Amino acid sequence: MRKRYLIVIFVIFAIECLVVVDKLISSTWPEQLEVAVGTFSVKTGGRDEYLSISNEQGAVVLSCSLGMSGSTRCFSQEQLQALTGRRVTAHWYRQSVYGGIRRNKLVALDDGEKIIRDPERTKSLDRSKIKNSAIVGGVVVGVMFIVWGVFVLRVRSQHDVTHS
């Protein structure tokens, strides 16, 4: 039982490490960002929300998630309503996600009059997402180790009492 629980802790720790590494890799921007100019719209699918920039060449679909997990949401409902149908310029890059999946990550957005999302804000949000993933994963694994330690100590103390 103890070994199985320890294996579960190790597997969860390994998965958490992969999530954090994925976020770190995904947060690396290329030297040159892609640029899309066109009409802004929002596409939703389940709990996911994607931004679409459409022009004569087609549409570019963008997300604000970092890596394979996390919220795809970029803006508040009020901001989305104000932007829908407007001509915008988006700066973005293709981030790699595990399994060869690639997503278009929004870095900056402006409507010609004002900056709606600037690169520094995106970097700050990305750092926060990485930090939060590491903290949450560390807490979960830490609590599991504490539970395992308490269990082992109880079993040993019961074993010592019965063999005394």
pLDDT tens track for 26-69:
777 888 999 999 999 998 877 778 899 999 999 999 988 876 66
Domain ranges of the chain: 2-154
Give the confidence band of 101 by pLDDT, cuts at 50, 70, 90.
low
The CA-to-CA distance between both ends of the chain, in Å, stands at: 24
Report which of residues 84 and 21 the model is more confident about. 84
What percent of the chain has a predicted confidence (pLDDT) above 90?
A: 29
Calculate helix-pair angle for 119-162, 2-26, nearest 10 degrees: 170
Cβ proximity of 19 and 137 under 8 Å: yes
- Give residue 162's pLDDT: 65
